[in-house]
Structure 1
Amino acid sequence: MSTEQASIYLKEMGISEWSLRETGPSFTKEEQASAPETPSQTKTNLVPKVYWLFYGKAPSGDAEVLFKNIVRALGLLQSEWEWREPSNTKAPDTSLPCIAFAFGQQAAHSLSGEHEPLENLRDVVLELGGLDLPLVASFDLAHLLQKPADKALAWQDLLLARSVLQSL
């Protein structure tokens, strides 16, 4: 099968073709010598602008990988988020705009005091038990690993949380 035929079949199946990126520019020895030697020499002092509180069962294994990918996709710095167990509802030690995000029905119930099914709590901005802090509920990370199709819905929940945070 030729490359052209393979491309046609992949396109008909709705599969995107991947191609290798071209290699980056090559630098002269002088340019390489003037470049910083360690990553710390290239760091800038990034000041957090927002703060996320993620609640739920502590992720491990594939769930932890998924969570790290979520944080990366949101573009959050390490200093802009914190993972908490649902029992930890103390106010955050920050003056930054803050949002709480609950992974899973149990966390959402515990934090909001609501007892509706998760499907009814999604797409709604709740309040974190008496702290006047907005709370958005979504699926548990383990659920997202079992039902990858729901990742798109979870991403919508994350975008809702980000829009609420931007309006604070």
Structure 2
Amino acid sequence: MNGLRELLLFYAEAGADEALEEAPVDRFADSRLAKAAPAPPQAQALQRPAPAMRHDPPTQAPSPPAAAPAVQASVPDDAQAERARELARSAASLDELRDILAGFDGCNLKFTAKNLVFADGNPEADVMFVGEAPGRDEDLQGLPFVGRSGKLLDRMLAAIGLDRTTAYIANVIPWRPPGNRTPTPLETEICRPFIERQIELAAPKVLVTLGGPSAKVLLNTQEGVLRLRGNWKVHRTAGGIDIPAMPTLHPAYLLRNPAHKRLAWRDFLVLKQKLRAVD
């Protein structure tokens, strides 16, 4: 009893001098009941062990279809340029040259192009036109100058009384560069012997270079086409034959710069007079 009296005195001094409930509460008993009481359904669901997983053998994913073997494009180098020179010299006719180009694998442009674009028109014509490289339409059809710039070229030819039966048309590069990018100097050097041999075998009386790149290759010059155009130059074949050559503006350039069509028209009038003189 003395212990209980001392505990009550301690509670009174601590400020606990009145009861909160009518009936005494055994706090320790409540805590024991809480531990023994079953968990509510939601808690039981959370505590329930997960069902055992079936250990079926994993389904094997279907193997992807085998990829087609990639075509190994040749890396252009000086050896390929020398090989191109030897092959070009061996062609005795335009048909042979075309077959050689079709089988030539020394230029990487061949592996990204759809078709070889060799030439169009009449190889026995007095005049030969040479551009730089095929575009998308030319690559699809395998013929030079058949897109928008080709249609403009046809109108320019018609203006001086020519068409594709009286003109021969080709490019320095016979394969379309991907994305119509500019051919690299080495790609151009590899293709140079073929176009030079093509000119030699066709033997036109007059040569017309369309645009700056073809003029630089075939006339061995670094001058810009706006300075070159309208002035007669000379293309010398490997056999030592001199062919008068007229540099002029490329039809694609004229489509972008219509004001310069008058310059090309002057060049074509000079060309018309030249063709009359060589007949």
What TM-score results when the alignment is normalised by the length of structure 1? 0.62
| Distance of aligned partners of 1:98 and 1:92 in 2 relative to their CA distance in 1, 3 Å threshold | farther
Partner Cα distance (1:147, 1:77) in 2: 24
Match of residue 8 from structure 1: none
The within-5 A match list for 1:12-161 is 51-56=126-131, 57=133, 58-86=144-172, 87=192, 88-90=195-197, 91-93=200-202, 98-130=205-237, 131-161=241-271
Contact 1:50 1:165 in 2 (8 A): no
Q: How many residues align?
A: 118
Q: CA deviation at 1:153?
A: 0.4
* Structure with higher strand content: 1
SS in 2 for 1:80: coil
- Indicate the larger mover: 98-107 or 81-90: 81-90
Sequence identity, in percent?
24
4+ aligned runs moved over 2 Å, structure 1: 57-61, 164-168
Q: CA deviation at 1:154?
A: 0.4
After superposition, the C-alpha distances for 1:52-73 in whole angstroms (9 at most, x for unaligned) are 1000034242111101111222
Partner Cα distance (1:80, 1:60) in 2: 16
After superposition, the C-alpha distances for 1:39-91 in whole angstroms (9 at most, x for unaligned) are xxxxxxxxxx9611000034242111101111222212433211111241232
Contact 2:125 2:168 in 1 (8 A): no
Partner Cα distance (1:129, 1:114) in 2: 13
- Looking at CA atoms only, which structure, 1 or 2, has the larger radius of gyration? 2
Larger relative contact order, structure 1 or 2 (CA cutoff 8 Å, min sep 6): 1
Partner Cα distance (1:77, 1:59) in 2: 12
Q: What letter matches 1:52 in structure 2?
A: V
Contact 1:59 1:141 in 2 (8 A): no
Q: CA deviation at 1:150?
A: 0.7
Partner Cα distance (1:66, 1:50) in 2: 20
| Distance of aligned partners of 1:92 and 1:72 in 2 relative to their CA distance in 1, 3 Å threshold | farther
What TM-score results when the alignment is normalised by the length of structure 2? 0.39
